[in-house]
């Protein structure tokens, strides 16, 4: 495995002590076919990301979102956990990882077998009514939208990281949306849009997990957005060592005890194999010389 093999031992030495909290980002899901805007597989989007204010205040913008997301969901629903997701689940079931915080909305950590994942920004496979608060499955909504729009196929070829696809306005003009079955209220994917805040209780839970951790392991996040970066700075305040594995620099590198620039799909399975194979566990270490990867 060349260069990847060279980084396994220092990472394994830190993770071997257990009580590890994982913070994951979009880079962990790229090998499942979901691109990352900022990483090596990143894509340039042509339209402005949907904001909460625009979604609730502009019926045409809402129609455009649901049309793009309706096609995107068909691709997102086909995404499966990759070797990186499965390795995190193995480390958790092996007692080394005590918690998983993810910035992703794809649900792939849970699908891979991880338990009690804190999904910071929600999940695309759930829908919430902004009127009564009822939550329903995206599969149910998909069925309702298909019935109303039987001829709507678009030309979706590639999905964006937030689960929608690129479509021209002419392609979405006739798309019909639906409201809540219970109260007639406005439906929204159960994810945090730009301009919307993460529920305070969810944030508190994440801060508590980080404060109680022995190590924070950041996987596939550029930490560009404060929503995830704040947990790295919190770890630094609490004296919790930070290990970052990401392809490319991150905004948390200054706080990292160890930073590894390597593919997660290779590093994580090798790490799990190294730590969970009988008789192969390395001695846990308290500190290593910081590295740039």
Q: Is 220 annotated as a binding residue?
A: yes
Q: Is 75 annotated as a binding residue?
A: no
Asked if residues 142 and 70 have their Cβ atoms less than 8 Å apart, the reply is: yes
- Of these residues, 85, 109, 121, 255, which one is catalytic? 121
Q: Is 126 annotated as a binding residue?
A: no
Q: Is 131 annotated as a binding residue?
A: no
Q: Is 82 annotated as a binding residue?
A: no
Q: Is 120 annotated as a binding residue?
A: no
Q: Is 132 annotated as a binding residue?
A: yes
Looking from the CA of 251 toward its CB, the CA atoms found within 13 Å total 12
Q: Is 29 annotated as a binding residue?
A: no
The whole-angstrom separation of Cα 11 and Cα 17 is 11
Q: Is 41 annotated as a binding residue?
A: no
| Whether residue 47 lies in the annotated active site | no
Q: Is 143 annotated as a binding residue?
A: no
Q: Is 265 annotated as a binding residue?
A: no
The whole-angstrom separation of Cα 288 and Cα 32 is 32
Question: How remote is the C-alpha of 95 from its chain's centroid?
Answer: 22
Q: Is 206 annotated as a binding residue?
A: no
The whole-angstrom separation of Cα 223 and Cα 229 is 5
Provide the annotated binding site for NAD(+): 103-106, 220-222, 246-248, 264
Query: Which residues are known binding-site members?
Result: 103-106, 129, 132, 180, 183, 220-222, 246-248, 264
User: Which positions are catalytic?
Assistant: 121
């Amino acid at each position: 495995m060349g260069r990847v093999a060279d980084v396994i031992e220092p990472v394994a030495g830190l993770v071997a002590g257990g009580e590890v909290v994982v913070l994951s980002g979009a880079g962990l899901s790229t090998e499942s076919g979901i691109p990352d805007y900022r990483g090596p597989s990143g894509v340039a989007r042509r339209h402005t990301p949907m904001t909460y204010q625009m979604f609730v205040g502009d019926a045409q913008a809402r129609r455009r979102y649901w049309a793009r997301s309706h096609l995107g969901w068909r691709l997102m629903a086909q995404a499966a956990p990759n070797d990186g997701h499965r390795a995190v689940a193995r480390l958790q079931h092996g007692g080394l990882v005590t918690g998983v915080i993810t910035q992703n909305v794809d649900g792939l950590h849970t699908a891979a077998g991880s338990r009690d994942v804190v999904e910071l920004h929600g999940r695309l496979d759930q829908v919430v009514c902004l009127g009564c608060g009822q939550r329903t499955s995206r599969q149910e909504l998909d069925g309702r939208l298909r019935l109303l729009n039987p001829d709507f196929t678009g030309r979706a070829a590639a999905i964006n990281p937030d689960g929608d696809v690129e479509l021209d306005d002419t392609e979405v003009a006739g798309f019909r949306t639906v409201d809540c079955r219970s109260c007639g209220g406005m439906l929204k994917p159960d994810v945090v849009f730009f301009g919307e805040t993460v529920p305070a209780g969810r944030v508190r839970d994440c801060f508590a997990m980080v404060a109680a951790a022995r190590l924070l392991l950041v996987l596939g996040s550029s930490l560009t957005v404060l929503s995830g970066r704040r947990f790295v700075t919190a770890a630094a305040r609490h004296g919790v060592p930070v290990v970052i594995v990401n392809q490319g620099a991150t905004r948390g590198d200054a706080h990292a005890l160890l930073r590894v620039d390597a593919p997660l799909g290779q590093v994580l399975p090798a790490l799990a194999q190294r730590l969970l194979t009988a008789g192969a566990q390395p001695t846990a270490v308290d500190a290593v010389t910081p590295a740039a990867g």
